[in-house]
Structure formats: structure tokens, C-alpha cells
Structure 1
Amino acid sequence: MKWLDTGVSHQLEPDEQSKKKGKDIMTSLRGKVALVVGGSSGVGKATVKALLSEGAHVTAVARGADNLRVLKTELGDGLATIQGDATDSAFAERLLRELRPDLVVLAAGVTPRMARVDEFDWESFSEAWNGDLKASFHLVKQALTLPLRPGSTVVLVSSGAAVDGSPLSGGYAGAKRMQWFLASYAQKVSDAKRLGIRMLAVLPRPIDGTTIGARAAEVYGKINGVTAEAFMKRIGVSLDNVASAILTALDGGVPAEINSILVTPTGIETLK
């Protein structure tokens, strides 16, 4: 199974990845105000659960009211929820202005259609640009212009497709690559303006237990002559592992000079 060069510069050792867990994470994340956009399912939901377990004050945002009600019933009164669409610039501005979060996680995203490039029209090809990336842009811009407090962290959940490409999902990989670039661009602005805001992109390999992961495993497993299950077992990651990587990023467990991490079956790898 062939994959492109990842540009990995350093793999965090197990001790590095775990040293922030337990008491240290409890100390640094307890009482923090956290905003998780796309928090009602998938990676967002796993991140909401992880943050709540570490004592953060969490608000989950999603477009679907029904999923938010289910989430609230499941997780209880410790969770706040807001229905809305972060691709709306006014909504994104109001979220950050009113909540003033210490931690922002953008996990919302479209489920791309799987097809050859000649089978798309522009609307379906660019769906991730007008969804995942547009929401990322609005949240990052507002974080820098309000601005958020020094010490705040913004995490954009991108995809391993940003590294390898994804020839059967239209413009999805390109949008995910741009999220990666966006985190780097925004960090330079934060540094230049001395805002003290950390910007990071988290790029997971295909995620087991998600619709996107299942579709990718089915299609690309077939191309590589293996079953979807075998494909996912080889390169996939769990929701809990991705949420753990996001908490590592939120908690300062990633070196200051690094703006992106790849989540793989063996752990977290920093990217150049």
C-alpha cells in the first residue's frame, strides 16, 4: 500500500504523549472555557467528552438541534449547547465574542461524496471548501481580530488526506490541506501581533467509527486489494485517539514551533 512522503519531522515518544495526562491535564484544563464546533458527533463528540472529563466548561455547537438534544441528554447539565452554523461569519463572531473561550476546536465537516473527478460538478467538488474551510476561516479570523485572550488555543481538525491526497473525494483533500496552511498563516499573524494565541492543525488518519472513515476504507481498501476492515486496521485511528491528540494540542503538549500534528496508529507525529 503506497503512501506519499508525509514530511514528518518528529514522532512524539510515548512518554511525551502521556506526560500531560492525569494530574497535569486536570490542572491545566480544569475550569477552562472550551468551544467545540461540530460537537454533536464523531471527533467533536469524543472531544467534548474528553474535555468534560478533564473539568473544562464545554459548549458544543452543531447545526442539528436533534443531535444536540441527544448529546445534552447523554452528557448532562455540565454541557452547554448552541445550535448554529459556523460558516455564517456573524454567528462565528458572536460565538467567540460572547463566550470568549480559552480553547476552540473546529471539528465540523462535510462527508464528501466518493467519486472520480469527472463525476463531480463544481458545487459537489467544492463542498468541503464551503463547509470545513469556510468555518475554519471565520473562526480563525475572529480569534485574531477580537482577539481571544493570550494563552488561548485554536485547533482545526483537518485530515491525513491533506498529506496524501484523496483522488476519489473531489476537493476534500485540498480543503483539508488549506486548513493546515491556515493554522500556520494564523500563527504567524498571532506572533506578529503578539497576541499569545496558539493555532494548531490536527490531521488524523482515517478514523474508525466515522462515516468518512468507513467510506474511505471501503473505496481505498478495494483499490489496494484489501477489505475495508483490513485497510482500517492497518492505517486507521480511533475516535478516542484523535480526541486524546486534540487534548494534547490544547494542553501545550506539542512543541511551540510546531503548528500541525499527524495522528497515526502509532501515535502523534509532528509535521514540518
Structure 2
Amino acid sequence: MEYPGQPEERQQRVVAEAGDGADAVVSHSKNHQTVGVRDRVTRLAQITAGRGLTVGARGHQTQRPLTPPGQSWESFSAPWHVDVRIAFEVGRAALARPLRPGSTVVILSSGAALGGSPLSGGYAGAKRTQMFLAGCLQRAADARGLGIRFVALVPGQLLTGTAIGEAAAAAYGAERGRPADTVLKEQFPVPLDPAGVARAILAIVSDEDHDKDTALVVTGKGVERA
């Protein structure tokens, strides 16, 4: 799941929706250099003193089929260098610092990780790997008795009011010969927007429900185990 707009706009929007419960938001653009990403993540882990750290990514989904001249290897593999990379770097920094006991690192995944996304190249696999990574990071934290929680939050449906949600609905609607809004209403009768995702992040950081789960799904109906 990504938030539309430039990185600064998106971060402000998430923090505004989440309020004071989530202390920091990490975002990563495919245009960031490798060293810069690692340095920024390390500095953020050093200054984060609160209970919540939310990890997002700004990798661009290329909505094309695999058949030529659709996806190239570069477009297919791009999410691995953005979405997986930022989760990996933040997870390592959280363990190395480490964050204070009681902290929660929320990695924003995608419903594509559950049901696939045939028009989005390697995006679904990258988002699934984020879910696996949350579990691996949790085992590492538990083995060291750090008291840090890692959880992948999976928006289980396309988000209304976002550029990516609208683009995906349009792409799959065109594939089926149906309008985008019809696809959204038929597949997801109870809508989910960025504010709903922000509320889910707050619930994960603040509540003890699902405190043993490393992957959770949020839909228009609420949060449940993946």
C-alpha cells in the first residue's frame, strides 16, 4: 500500500491521520541512493523514542501484463529494490539500535501479497516477502529478548481516494471490460481509505489484540489475522 503524492506530503498525511500514537513514518522512493537510505533509516532509529515506527514504500507499480511488450525485468523486479529493501533496512536498524522495549514496527504490505497481482509484475511477491520478513525479524527480536514487536499490515483491498487504488481498479476494469468504479464496488462493497489504514496502525501499536501475530489484514470491516 502506498499513499499518493510526494514523500513529504504522504508522510504528513499518515502522521496527521495516525495522530500521536505512531511516532515516526519511514518512506522510501526508488530514486533514493542506497547509502542515503541506510543512513536515513539509522538516524531515524536513533531518534525514535516512542512506541510506533511505520514503514512504507513509494515504489511505482507498472500496470502491464507479462506478455511482451509489457513487463521488462527492470519493471518486474523494481518492487524488490524498493519495498523489500526499506523493510529490510528498517528491520535491521531496529534490531541493531535496538528500539526500546515495547516498540512496534509496522511494515505496510499489500493485499497483492495474498491474492497476487498479475498486472503488477513482482509487486505481489515483494509484498509477500515483507510478510515473511516481519516474522523473521520477530524471531530475531524474541531470541535476544528485545521486547520489540514486528508486524506486517496488509490492506486487503484497493484503497479508495488514492492514485494507486484508482489506477489498479482502472487496469483490472479494462481487462474485464468494466468501469473502474464498478470493479471497486463489486469486489469491495465496504470501502477502505487511508484513514482506515491509519486507524489500524494505531490499534496495532496501542492495543493488545493480535499481539502474537506478525501479519494482519485490514479491510473496510476491520483488522483480522492474515
**2:106 is aligned with 1:155:** yes
What is the one-letter code of the residue matched to 2:221?
T
CA contact (8 A) 2:22 2:201 kept: no
CA contact (8 A) 1:113 1:124 kept: yes
Render the CA deviation track for 1:35-94: whole Å, top value 9, x for unaligned: xxx5632xx544311333xx4584555579xxxxxxxxxxxxxxxxxx998972122112
CA contact (8 A) 2:109 2:154 kept: yes
- Residue ranges of structure 2 left out of the alignment (5+ in a row): 1-6
CA distance in 2, matches of 1:139, 1:147: 11
1:171 maps to which of 119, 122, 139: 122
Q: 1:268 to 1:196 in 2, by over 3 A?
A: same
Match of 1:40 in 2: 9
Could you say which structure has the higher strand fraction?
Answer: 1
CA contact (8 A) 1:106 1:157 kept: yes
What is the one-letter code of the residue matched to 1:95?
L
Question: What is the deviation of 1:141?
Answer: 0.7
**Secondary structure, aligned partner of 2:53:** strand
**2:188 is aligned with 1:237:** no
Match of 2:141 in 1: 190
**Secondary structure, aligned partner of 2:166:** helix
Question: What is the deviation of 1:215?
Answer: 1.1
Identity %: 35
**2:219 is aligned with 1:270:** no
Match of 1:251 in 2: 206
**Secondary structure, aligned partner of 1:258:** coil
Render the CA deviation track for 1:107-164: whole Å, top value 9, x for unaligned: 2221211001232222211111111110110001110111111000000000000000
**2:66 is aligned with 1:123:** no
TM-score, normalising length: structure 1: 0.70
CA contact (8 A) 2:45 2:93 kept: yes
Across the aligned residues of Structure 1 and Structure 2, the Cα RMSD in angstroms comes to: 2.5
Match of 2:172 in 1: 220
CA contact (8 A) 1:158 1:176 kept: yes
**2:131 is aligned with 1:180:** yes
Match of 1:210 in 2: 162
State the aligned residue count. Answer: 212
Render the CA deviation track for 1:200-227: whole Å, top value 9, x for unaligned: 1111121111121111111123334532
- Residue ranges of structure 1 left out of the alignment (5+ in a row): 1-37, 65-82
